[in-house]
Amino acid sequence: MRKRKRRFNIKQAVVGVIAEYNPFHTGHRYHLDEARRLADADQVLVVMSGPFTQRGDPALFSPRARAEMALLSGADMVFELPALYAVNDADRFATGGVNLLTSLGCTHISFGCEDLNQSLFQRAVALITEPEPSFQQNLRSALSAGRSYPFALGNALAAALGTNALALPNNILALSYLNAIHQYKSPLIPIPIRRSGSYHSLTTAPGVLPSAAALRRAVLTGNWPGIQMMTEPAVMRIIERELQRGLVHFPGSLDMALRTMLLTADPCVFNALPNVSEGLDRLILKYREHAVSRDELLGMMKSKRYTHARLSRLLTHFMLGITAEMMVERPRYARLLGFKQRATEHIRFVKRSGFSIIEKAARYDREDPEHILDMRAYDLWAMGVREPFGYGWRQSPLVDPTD
């Protein structure tokens, strides 16, 4: 009697989360648990930024260590968001994440936001998709006055909607996710979860969900009581292990490399960078010989028009060799960072759908420019922790990590 093949249950719910986990804290655990509960999900799938974050900074810990934190804290599988999307503005970050979750077979997407008023978000998406004349005028006026695009957009939305609630950090990303779902006609069902506390808060207190910024400061200053307050024991042990191994990316670790690259680069290189309009290339040339650190250079360049995040991303694009021509609409693959055995069947289902999943970098197309870029990001991150080149090529997925 011939054995029947086991078929994947396409009706199972898989909730997707787009994250950075820089690093993972108890607020992230709460989000994963709530996402699973509210979506009644069989699996929780995380798409996470790689060696560099959306603001252009090197992540404190490696993608592998951060994936391990997530897998020990509620995630069933963790994939990496390619650098072209991970190190980019909110819209492109969201576009890459939403399209990747869709390609990976998710049925839902969960995200944190300060406001759960879905009608407000729907009206905002409609304005961005089909802008009214007054909305366009307000947007153009703010840009003409030398304000940044995020500020101009927030100002125009506030005037049209009668509230500035969408200017809050998590609401901005939530709006970008919903806009990407609408734009690409993704079947993802949104599951918003209220984000309490300040996104940038550096304070810690018992019973209050922490911020990643507060946890980063605790790690960098050796504040172990603070680390213990903001993480679960399994995550705290990973932090301690990575510190002992010297695999923590301290601020300023790449300053000398950046300065050397800036001083030796041909001026035409800066003009080819993404989003380098309005004379930004000339601004880099003006200050590149005067700043002795990344932070000092950013301080010299920052203005009402050029936000710190935009300039930081620009410098990382320069170091990685990202050009405007490299920008593609959606990811062509996903790098698997780790998974639990119960997620194996879903991963097989995605592979059967034809979407590429990279388990070992060396087995994927070595001439794919997007893949080469991701490996370059690993090498640049490794330089900051004094690891040899080839760091990304040596990585393999975590399977059922145990504390």
Q: pLDDT digits over 346-382, tens only?
A: 999 999 999 999 999 888 888 888 999 999 999 999 9
In 3D space, the residue among 62, 56, 49, 64 whose CA is nearest the CA of residue 384 turns out to be 62
Distance in angstroms (rounded) separating the CA atoms of residues 299 and 311: 10
User: Where are the alpha helices (H) located in 184-293, listed in sequence order?
Assistant: 212-221, 224-230, 233-245, 255-264, 267-271, 280-287
Intra-chain end-to-end CA distance of the chain, in Å: 43
Distance in angstroms (rounded) separating the CA atoms of residues 5 and 287: 64
The reported pLDDT for the residue numbered 201 is 55
Tell me the backbone φ, ψ of residue 43, rounded to 5 degrees.
Answer: -135, 150
Tell me the backbone φ, ψ of residue 62, rounded to 5 degrees.
Answer: -65, 160
Distance in angstroms (rounded) separating the CA atoms of residues 89 and 378: 20
The reported pLDDT for the residue numbered 374 is 96
- Answer whether residue 323 shows pLDDT above 70: yes
pTM score: 0.92
More confident residue, 202 or 68: 68
Cβ atoms of 304 and 146 within 8 Å: the answer is yes
Cβ atoms of 306 and 146 within 8 Å: the answer is no
Give how far the C-alpha of residue 155 lies from the chain's centroid of Cα atoms, to the nearest Å: 25
Q: Which residues contact 318 (CB under 8 A, 6 or more apart)?
A: 261, 262, 265, 269, 270, 273, 284
pLDDT-based confidence at 33, cuts 50/70/90? very high
Q: What's the whole-number mean pLDDT along residues 203-218? A: 81
